[in-house]
Structure 1
């Protein structure tokens, strides 16, 4: 099972669903509970893809978007972030993929995609 996770600044679930509708087939998302979390399922090349949206991530300004499945529309978090940035035109962040559990947090860098371009930055 593959998984992708990106963080999208200040987006409502309806706008995120519009973006995901462009990349997945038969997407169905529904709110779960009262925290604004949305979960559901779509398909990519007839393979099921679990989709989760978690608002309020990282200082409450980002929504975590998690896609899980055997086949996904993008190979890496950065590929996914690039596609989201082009569609949504808001800041998107993702892990560069080289951080390992146990590495010092102060050394952790993230990809930030926004109107300034793509840069590796500290989260704060």
Structure 2
């Protein structure tokens, strides 16, 4: 089932490299507009939010649309890793508060070693 939006975390990724990837994957990016700690743009028709160092060295990339080329966060994570060569983390599917705190800490990492589920305590 297609997710309503996409969010991935990129380790030490360069914003210019991410912009180049978004240009290729989604369409031309508008210039980034800084709003507080976040940056926003549109890649094609998709609103994008970039939050540098959202969790330590991890940057958050949030695509606010279900019209991306990817069904879910994991599909996007694989594409981002292939394009950028950095470790990517994402949730293993949609999550809501009813699932409990333990499930909130379940993540998948995509790296040169492949795909692996792990516990990531971000608080």
SS of 1:11's partner is coil
Runs of 5+ consecutive residues of structure 2 not aligned to the other structure: none
Superposition RMSD in Å: 2.0
What is the CA deviation profile of residues 36-63 of structure 1, one whole-angstrom value per residue up to 9, with x for unaligned ones?
Answer: x3211122xxxx21011001112x2111
* Aligned residue number for residue 122 of structure 1: 119
Residue in structure 1 matching 2:77, options 73, 76, 81: 81
Tell me the TM-score normalised to structure 2 length: 0.84
Q: Which runs of 4+ in 1 moved over 4 A?
A: none
Residue 39, structure 1, aligned to residue 36, structure 2? no
Tell me the TM-score normalised to structure 1 length: 0.84
* Alpha-carbon distance in 2 for matches of 1:51, 1:90: 19
Residue 62, structure 1, aligned to residue 58, structure 2? yes
8 A contact 1:54–1:65 mirrored in 2: yes
Runs of 5+ consecutive residues of structure 1 not aligned to the other structure: none
* Alpha-carbon distance in 2 for matches of 1:99, 1:23: 25
Deviation of 1:10 (Å): 0.7
TM-aligned CA distance change 1:98 to 1:27, over 3 Å:
closer
8 A contact 1:29–1:38 mirrored in 2: no
SS of 2:31's partner is strand
Q: How many residues align?
A: 118
